[in-house]
A = this chain, B = another copy of it.
Amino acid sequence: MSVPQLVAVLGRGVVPAGEPVVSADDLGINRGDGVFDAVRVVADAGGVRVDHLAPHLARFARSHAAMGMAAPDLDAWRGLIDAALGAWAVPGTAILKLIATRGQEHEASAPGASFLTITANDSPACPPLRVSLVPRGYASDAFTDAPWLLGGVKSLAYAINVAAAREAARRGDDDALFVSSDGFCLEGPRSGLVVRFGDDYATTPTAGTGILDSVTVGVVADGLRARGVRFTPRLMTPGEVLDADGAWLLSAGRGACEISHLDGSPLAVDPGASALLRELAGF
């Protein structure tokens, strides 16, 4: 690997990186029919630790349930994570990713792939982001009473998210922000949105919009509220975000990255708020 990576398989433990671990009949590779979650690992003089593992494992289990998959054996996953962290010796930050698929397509008795990767984070810094607005095609209430659309589920079927990031790069930007067909900001392809209006903060609501319930947004929201700051889920237009006092894309891998431009128009940049959000996210 050009980037250090560790691979471990549930029931087997650590295996050589690069060794194939998914069969041709697996529903994960055939249909994107499986789930994942991702969380930051920090390795320093104090040892190796994982950020907010409990809410990430809880979301991993919710993703299983939303897909109609059998519940994951979280004790077994915790054991595998412990073994993997014990074998991880790369200083700095890394991303721990858990992947579980529904099963094999034609062999009902055989399990799906269940494995994790730990990959060194070669770009942990978070420069100001130029962000493209990218239509998502769905209305902001399209996911109400439509669980088959898998709103909020971290499924393996992320090709549109990757394509949106490619579209942003094609436009010369660093990242994308999805916009609903009725004109509201949703989320980034791999991040959640937080916006500051004066002393208040807001994020996109999860209900109906299909966006992911971001663990990092939740951690920051808890931190702000603990300081007496108002943090409210509400739908926001791109115009409202442009006129706001700061906007950020939050993710487990990079913390809070401030948006400097939206479709080329500059946003208010707020170094003090950026520092606060990064600190609350644990970065």
Chain A residues in the interface with B (C-beta under 8 A): 1-3, 5, 7, 17-34, 36, 67-68, 97, 99, 101, 105-110, 113, 115, 117, 119, 134-139, 142-143, 146-150, 153, 155-164, 166-167, 181, 210
Contacts and interface: CB of A to CB of B under 8 A. Distances in A.
Given A147-B167, A148-B164, A153-B159, 19 more contacts: A1-B25, A1-B107, A2-B106, A5-B106, A18-B110, A19-B23, A21-B23, A22-B22, A25-B119, A27-B162, A30-B158, A137-B146, A137-B210, A139-B181, A148-B160, A149-B163, A155-B159, A156-B159, A157-B160
A106 B3 contact: yes
A191 to B, nearest CB: 15
A158 B149 CA distance: 11
A69 to B, nearest CB: 11
Contact of A5 (B25, B109, B135, B139): B25
A155 B33 CA distance: 12
Contacts of A97: 30
B160 A158 contact: no
Given A113-B29, A138-B138, A20 B23 contact: yes
A146 B135 contact: yes
Contacts of A25: 1, 5, 7, 17-18, 117, 119
Contact of A158 (B23, B31, B101, B134): B31
A100 to B, nearest CB: 11
B32 A115 contact: no
A2 B26 CA distance: 14
B23 A18 contact: yes
B2 A107 contact: yes
B67 A31 contact: no
